[in-house]
A = this chain, B = another copy of it.
């Protein structure tokens, strides 16, 4: 068998699965941001016709999956597996969406790293010959995340400048054996890294070491350099986290400056939108990839990117018990052409 595992944490896909189509839905605030025109649907109201934000989040995920299926002229029964997750306890959004979708589900939890975790596993399962078509999907919602992880919104707490704004949005990507790109060519799976950050309003600083670890490992394993990528884009480190990750990568011998950004930085305009350090939430990298990056790869404005969704495995319970925030980042290389 040809070598698929390269280095310590990376696999190379020998017949790289294609990303056939994507879909994205976002809330009103995300629709007003710099990428607003790229998303398939901008909700007028973040309740999306439901009677709770949690149900709205679940409906967004379901709609993202349904949209990507119909866009590819397929039916739900054609999809082998759904790889998905969200930030809510017990994956409430994904579980309820999957109940309606009736597609076999692998439930994932990687906090905001879930999109690249789902893309990586989908790609491996297809390349391994176990599935023809998989969907990777995640969602998040500002109002559900705030009340689950921080404070009731009704309190109107002031937000420090290091805080990030959880993206209201859902993205879905359909993967399969397909002639046209873009293709997932490599996956680097992260370890849990924890530098001792305890501030739930500074997730960027908490996640930056995990991002730097996975990105550095990816370059080591694939024997590539940052300049070989048109874009290296983390999930949601925000401004401060991006700078810390950049500094940490420098200590590993990698200069990532010009082509290194973050989905959380791209999605909002911090001056006009009062979003402080940037966007976050597992919907953030999901919609920035599904809505924006996929289109640039499709039209070949981008030819090779490293998408690195980053997750703070933050638990209110562990925080109350005095623990710091363990973090993880998973990376996938996405290329517009197959390079074998």
Contact = CB atoms under 8 A, between A and B. Distances in A.
Contacts of A107: 108-110, 117, 313, 328
A111 interface: yes
B5 A132 contact: yes
A2 B127 CA distance: 13
- Copy tally for this chain in the complex stands at 2
Contact of A192 (B77, B99, B117, B125): B99
A17 to B, nearest CB: 12
B1 A106 contact: no
A96 interface: yes
Interface stretch (A82-90, A223-231, A285-293): A82-90
A98 B111 CA distance: 14
Nearest to A318: B92
Nearest to A9: B104
A89 B314 CA distance: 9
A317 B125 CA distance: 32
Contacts of A111: 90
B191 A102 contact: yes
A102 B193 CA distance: 8
Interface string A34-77: 00000000000000000110110000000000000000000001
A121 B83 CA distance: 11
Interface residues of A, number: 61
Contacts of A92: 313, 315, 317-318
Contacts of A127: 128, 130
Which of A95, A96, A328 counts the most B-chain CB atoms under 10 A from its CB? Answer: A95
A2 to B, nearest CB: 8
Which of A80, A102, A103, A129 counts the most B-chain CB atoms under 10 A from its CB? Answer: A129
A321 B191 contact: no
Contact of A1 (B99, B129, B191, B326): B129
A103 B191 contact: yes
Given A99-B194, A110-B107, A192-B95, A89 B315 contact: yes
29 contacts: A1-B129, A5-B80, A8-B77, A11-B131, A54-B321, A85-B109, A88-B315, A89-B315, A89-B316, A89-B317, A90-B111, A91-B109, A92-B318, A95-B326, A96-B192, A96-B323, A96-B326, A98-B191, A98-B192, A98-B326, A98-B328, A99-B192, A102-B191, A104-B189, A105-B190, A105-B191, A106-B117, A107-B109, A108-B109
| A-B residue pairs, 7 tightest by C-beta | A128-B128, A95-B313, A90-B315, A104-B189, A99-B192, A98-B192, A109-B109
